[in-house]
Structure 1
Amino acid sequence: MDGIVIIGAGESGTRAAFALREAGYCGSVTLVGAEPHLPYERPPLSKTVNGAVQMKLICAAEALEAAGITYLKGLSAAKLDAGAETVGLSDGRVLRYEKLLLATGARPRRLTCQGAARALDFRTHADAEAIFSRVAPGRNVAIIGAGLIGMELASVLRGKDVAVSVIEAAPKPLGRAVPARFAEKLHARHAAEGVRFHLDRGVAAISDDGVTLTDGSVVHADLVVGAIGVLPDIVLAEASGLATGNGILTDTCLRTSAPNVFAAGDCAAVAQPGGGHFRYESWWNARTQAETVARNMAGAAETFSALPWFWSDQYDLGLQVVGMPHSTHQIVLRSATDGELEFYLDDGRLVAAAGLGIGNGLARDIKLAEMLIAAGISPEPGEIADPRVNLKTLLKGARAA
């Protein structure tokens, strides 16, 4: 046996490789990455410095070497034979494994309209370089998709004095992941910054002139970016006969339907206690699943139970959401010095929280909210609505009880 092989050198795969060593695993660890770089983080890709796209490495080459991790870059997995416990790589070599981790991540959802190939993706370092090398003050960029990726890119481009149009098939931006009140506030901020919105309209075609919408109108643009979401990369798993759905299906310990094969990160759809599977797309989820799956591959049997958490920076505003807010929950508002918070109660129990404020000013409150949710408290709505009531005091009381 050739130890543990990890397919995918993004946040989840790379963190899992190091977490294996932290868990005491002494066998060989091979990390396979499709890109020609050292592993890097995706969130900073939009944070250019002097016009250059930054690459924030997850680890240095020296760290990989010191941990005894073999890193094969610029290669992808072409075939998985779960019965023989082998994985074939794009360069023809075949690796045997004792255990395998699929951390293949997600890929951009593609447009299907006429001229769709003209739209650039915004997912990798190469994508970011392709976009930012073509923008300049006074140029026009059309972003198709008003989700978090599209709106974050719009805010960055407006900061560079680039004219931005956002096209969205839904009637409102940020309709999926962001609480409604905060989505409205972010929409208003973008409009105040000069972003032009074309809502409730689809895309008919993309040409040299820009984007033709389904109502016949044309959004003129020098550059078009497609940001209509991502799909889990399940091609390898599906071809090998693993159970898949909206992701590679795993149990609560992140084991797939094949013996000794695990999945984590954006590609993994994890079994839920109440039934069904759920897939999370966030930097935090990729990291926390990596830690759990590494311990389980090293011999533990831990259930993955971390709360979902994500953030988004747009202009000088910071959005953070922990847990899974739902419109059916009781929503309790709380003002704060740097913004405002929303707490979500399900049958009286605190299950989620969200904050929108200046910069990172609400990070401490969201962290306390995360700990309150984990403590399983059922607070009085008046208590958490009152900014004079210290959340830390509520946490101490919950722990004492």
Structure 2
Amino acid sequence: MSHFVIVGAGECGARAAFALREKGFDGSITLVGTETLLPYERPPLSKASLGETIEPKLIAAAERYEAANIRLLNGVSVESLDPEARNMVLSDGAVIAYDKLLLATGASAREFPGTSAMSARIRALRTHQDAIALRGVMQPGRHIAIIGGGFIGLEVAATAIKLGARVTLVEGLERVLKRGVPEEIAHALAERHRDEGIDLRCEAAIEAIGEAEGHAFIRMAGATLESDMILVGIGARPNVELAAKAGLAVDNGIAVDTHLQTSRADIYAAGDCCSFPLEIYGGKRVRLESWRNAQEQGTLAAANMMGGSETISAVPWFWSDQYDLTLQIAGLSDGAVTHLRRDLGDGAFILFHLDAGGRLLAASGIGTGNAVARDIRLAEMLIAARAHPDPAALTSTNVKLKSLLAA
């Protein structure tokens, strides 16, 4: 009987385990995770888990793993991997053999330069325990300093200010969301944060961070900022150490092909930890940190581990909730030379990003609730079809995007 092992019990790994059963795999499945909790969803950590509840949102209850005959090993890590022998050694000393292996090891928070580890007052946000610690200082009279104006930093800032905490957000670049979000949308979000009371400081030169005498501090040129806690939200790095030590190819993540196979045919990688060629963008190698990408690649990896030959075809998609605003982005805007705006009313709008030849590469939208969701979904379909829509039609509210898709 075949034994498939999945290393990484997050969204991608858990999805892959259940997908194997749904697709008819009747061999043994072992899912290995470093945390003692059952696999849980991470997007709520910067949103609902902070503002409403500290209970993790489980991907599935324990009974579902038992019913699907998925062996779940919690609280252990893989110390070494031997691709030749097709086995691995766990932190508890156990040796596990596999017929096929999926690495869904995810990503880890980047540490601030000059700091070797997080502490009680200097934290990142990657785990449920991190969320509990942050929630403890999100209350009136407490002060949270956030380093990094990306999605995590801004989402935590929005939650913290709503709960009554004082928030200072420090960004080294000239604006927030510099990576992948158009300036027009980033400006709208920054203004909303300032209106809500966030002390937002861009182009801040940080010299050092640390803690002393019951507080954390950020030392900047000419000023020192003290707070009850510092959240370091300066991005994530893929967890490639296990793969690299085993001799697998690494290129901004564990390098895989369009079938999610690594440089070893019997080892696959998926989710935040891997980089892959994206055909709709000319084979450009990308790495995505996205909840939906983790789900889709988990399912795709399961199909191909069972002998399938499905290729990565999904259009990258991201979202962020801040206050009552939702930001959604479909596609990758690298190489875009034209940026067209379509107003949807009540302050909601979408930007369409086209290359020099008029092909739609990406769409970025912002609005309250689900104001942009439908049109972003239609734009996603146009991107997948490699469409060259009429620019005038994209900006006209009298032309439905669905009609462009039909054309």
Give the structure-1-normalised TM-score: 0.95
Alignment of 1:146-185 (within 5 A): 146-185=149-188
- Comparing 341-350 with 79-88, greater Cα deviation is found at 341-350
Aligned to 2:6: 6
Aligned to 2:245: 239
Alignment check: 8 A CA contact 1:80 1:86 kept? yes
Aligned to 1:134: 137
Aligned to 2:310: 302
Aligned to 1:280: 288
Do structure 1's residue 206 and structure 2's residue 210 form an aligned pair?
A: yes
Alignment of 1:256-275 (within 5 A): 256-273=262-279, 274-275=282-283
Q: 1:250 aligns with which of 248, 256, 268?
A: 256
Quote the offset at 1:112 in angstroms.
2.8
Gaps of 5+ in 1: none
SS for the counterpart of 1:74 is coil
SS for the counterpart of 2:258 is coil
Alignment check: 8 A CA contact 1:99 1:261 kept? yes
Aligned to 1:220: 226
Quote the offset at 1:66 in angstroms.
1.7
Quote the offset at 1:210 in angstroms.
3.5
Alignment check: 8 A CA contact 2:144 2:167 kept? yes
> Identity rate of aligned residues, in percent?
46
Q: Cα RMSD between the aligned structures?
A: 1.7
- Comparing 191-200 with 31-40, greater Cα deviation is found at 191-200
One-letter amino acid of the counterpart of residue 108, structure 2: R
Aligned to 1:344: 353
Aligned to 1:91: 92
Alignment check: 8 A CA contact 1:2 1:96 kept? no
SS for the counterpart of 2:318 is strand
**1:186-215 alpha-carbon deviations (Å, 9 max, x no partner):** 111111111112222224232234433331
Aligned to 2:124: 121
Quote the offset at 1:165 in angstroms.
0.5
- Comparing 323-332 with 335-344, greater Cα deviation is found at 323-332
Alignment check: 8 A CA contact 2:155 2:322 kept? yes
Alignment check: 8 A CA contact 2:65 2:71 kept? yes
Distance 2:176 2:323 in 1: 16
One-letter amino acid of the counterpart of residue 199, structure 1: C
One-letter amino acid of the counterpart of residue 17, structure 1: A
Distance 2:231 2:42 in 1: 17
> Aligned pair in 2 of structure 1 residues 309, 120: CA closer, same or farther (>3 Å)?
same
One-letter amino acid of the counterpart of residue 302, structure 1: E
**1:336-374 alpha-carbon deviations (Å, 9 max, x no partner):** 135101111121112211110002221111111111222
One-letter amino acid of the counterpart of residue 9, structure 2: A
Gaps of 5+ in 2: none
Alignment check: 8 A CA contact 2:123 2:130 kept? yes
One-letter amino acid of the counterpart of residue 164, structure 1: V
> Aligned pair in 2 of structure 1 residues 114, 124: CA closer, same or farther (>3 Å)?
closer
Distance 1:24 1:123 in 2: 33
Q: 2:370 aligns with which of 350, 353, 360?
A: 360
Distance 1:293 1:217 in 2: 50
Distance 1:197 1:130 in 2: 23
Quote the offset at 1:138 in angstroms.
2.1
Alignment check: 8 A CA contact 1:146 1:166 kept? yes
Q: 1:375 aligns with which of 382, 385, 388?
A: 385
One-letter amino acid of the counterpart of residue 113, structure 1: G
Quote the offset at 1:378 in angstroms.
1.1
SS for the counterpart of 2:66 is helix
Quote the offset at 1:298 in angstroms.
0.7
Quote the offset at 1:301 in angstroms.
1.1
> Aligned pair in 2 of structure 1 residues 50, 170: CA closer, same or farther (>3 Å)?
closer
